């Protein structure tokens, strides 16, 4: 997917990750030291948003398969679903923006890029929603603002149904 003007997104490859810093040690350490191992082991599919001219990494996210338990979903969601024990979903496991690019709306663009990929994947492989784990209340508010819904059994875990993603992306065009 083409990101905002002057930016592009692509699968993580042989990118120089040493200068990346989002300001959260756990995410920075994961991105610099462990993301390639998860990619090789097929535990996560990482993507990066790149500044086109400078070639700098603006942000990254990872996608993985996930299942949602029936009992985790609110009544408003499960009344439209079959009575399965679990439902297929896609997890955005990690999402981070380099601090040099924060405050410019690029976090939203990075998330929209991830949602665009998830919607495309769901057309080939069943997935009813995208799941995120917010790091804190501020991140939770960011996701809620975009329409993500809370799970019943986990305060910082949220989901967005694929139909809502399709509407969100259509409104962005």
Which distant-in-sequence residues (6+ apart) come within 8 Å of 31 by Cβ? Answer: 17, 20, 22, 60, 94, 96
Is 61 catalytic? The answer is no
Q: How far is CA 12 from CA 46, 71, 136, in A?
A: 6, 35, 26
Q: Which of 30, 47, 143, 159 is catalytic?
A: 143
d(CA 54, CA 52): 6
Name the packing angle between helices 106-122 and 162-172 (round to 10°): 130
Distance CA 133, CA 93 (A): 7
- Closest C-alpha among 59, 53, 68, 8 to residue 31: 59
Q: Which residues are catalytic?
A: 143
């Amino acid at each position: 997917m083409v990101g905002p003007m002057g930016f592009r997104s692509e699968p993580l490859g042989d990118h120089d990750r040493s200068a990346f810093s989002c300001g959260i040690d756990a995410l920075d350490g994961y991105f610099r030291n462990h993301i390639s191992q998860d990619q090789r082991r097929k535990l996560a599919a990482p993507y990066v948003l790149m500044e086109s001219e400078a070639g700098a990494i603006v942000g990254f996210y990872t996608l993985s398969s996930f299942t949602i338990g029936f009992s985790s979903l609110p009544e408003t969601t499960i009344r439209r679903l079959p009575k399965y024990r679990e439902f297929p979903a896609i997890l955005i496991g990690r999402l981070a923006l380099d601090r040099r690019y924060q405050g410019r709306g690029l976090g939203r663009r990075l998330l929209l890029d991830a949602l665009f990929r998830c919607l495309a994947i769901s057309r080939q492989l069943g997935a009813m929603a995208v799941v995120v784990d917010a790091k804190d209340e501020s991140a939770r508010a960011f996701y809620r603002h975009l329409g993500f819904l809370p799970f019943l059994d986990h305060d910082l875990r949220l989901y967005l149904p694929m139909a809502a993603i399709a509407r969100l992306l259509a409104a962005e065009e």
